[in-house]
Amino acid sequence: MRPPGSPADSPRRTLAALGLSPRKSLGQNFLADRNVAGKIVALARSFPPPYLEIGPGLGALTELLADAGAPVVAVELDRGLAAHLRDRFAGGSVEIVEADFLKVSAQEWRSRFPAGGTVVGNLPYSISSPAVLRLIELREVFPRAVLMLQREVVDRLCAGPGGKEYGVLSVYLGVLAEARKEFVVRRACFHPAPDVDSAVMSVRFVGDYPEALVSALRMVVRAAFAHRRKTLRNAPVPFLQGGAAQWLELLLAAGIDPAGRAEEIAPPAYLALARAFAGM
């Protein structure tokens, strides 16, 4: 008898054999298209191992990485799925960690990936933004990532200035990384099928920015986008001792028109603003 999770099994059949059901609270939508899985893994393997897989689920991506002999640490929150994955990949190059990726310390990841690694994952829609923010924090440990997210989220993350998709995370990645939308994955490729399509993106973190500058970037960008329909001169700046007058000086020092709006300002200008604020 074929073991649950073998290539010929569908997610529906595997879950039934394991006595499990998709958990809506965890945003579980399992990739059911092996061709899509192959494209994602091929993209991930264009970056060097080892790999950290976030949310392996039933192992659609894990299996292909393991078949290539790549060392993988797969972090899975669901206890039943983690147990299944341990049995399925026992004795191979895959280590299963039952944990919430968002709660694992940077110190632990550094100890597991002393020479750095590449992230790959089909992220639940509910943790898309927190996961991307966490990867930004961990960019020195994981300078590369291949992520599948809700299509609209990928469009926002990869957006340039001048449109409604452009926002806080667009700026962060525009400064700190090269983010690229790779391809769209239709909702029919999942079980259960979500209400929206997904997309795969690649992220390459670039530059060696001190944490003080990145912290300054977070503060000025959040202020700029707090009231995105208003001009930048009206941004809330409680973190500045000199208030609105100091903010105006910083904007001008960075070459930013105070009469402009947050969505019109390119990432390099926000970096200049952060440098002015941080005195760098």
What does the pLDDT look like over 89-104, one tens digit per residue?
A: 999 999 999 999 999 9
What does the pLDDT look like over 59-86, one tens digit per residue?
A: 999 999 999 888 999 999 999 999 999 9
Task: Of 16-20, 39-43, 176-180, give the lowest mean pLDDT range.
Answer: 16-20
Q: Given a cut of 50, is residue 132 above it in pLDDT? A: yes
Q: Given a cut of 80, is residue 150 above it in pLDDT? A: yes
Q: Given a cut of 60, is residue 2 above it in pLDDT? A: no
Q: Which residue has the tokens 């500058």?
A: 213
Q: Which residue has the tokens 């790549």?
A: 70
**Are the C-beta atoms of residues 154 and 199 closer than 8 Å to each other?**
yes
Question: Residue 4: pLDDT band by 50, 70, 90 thresholds?
Answer: low
- Averaged over 203-223, what is the pLDDT? 96
Q: Bridge-partner residues for 150, per DSSP?
A: 198
Query: Rounded distance, CA 247 to CA 170, Å?
Result: 22
Question: Residue 15: pLDDT band by 50, 70, 90 thresholds?
Answer: confident
Structure-block tokens of residue 197: 């399509």
Q: Give the containing element (helix H, strand E) for 181.
A: strand 177-185
What phi and psi, each to the nearest 5 degrees, are found at residue 97? -115, 115
What does the pLDDT look like over 229-260, one tens digit per residue?
A: 899 999 999 999 999 999 999 999 999 999 99
All domains in the chain, ordered by first residue: 11-205 (3.40.50.150), 211-278 (1.10.8.100)
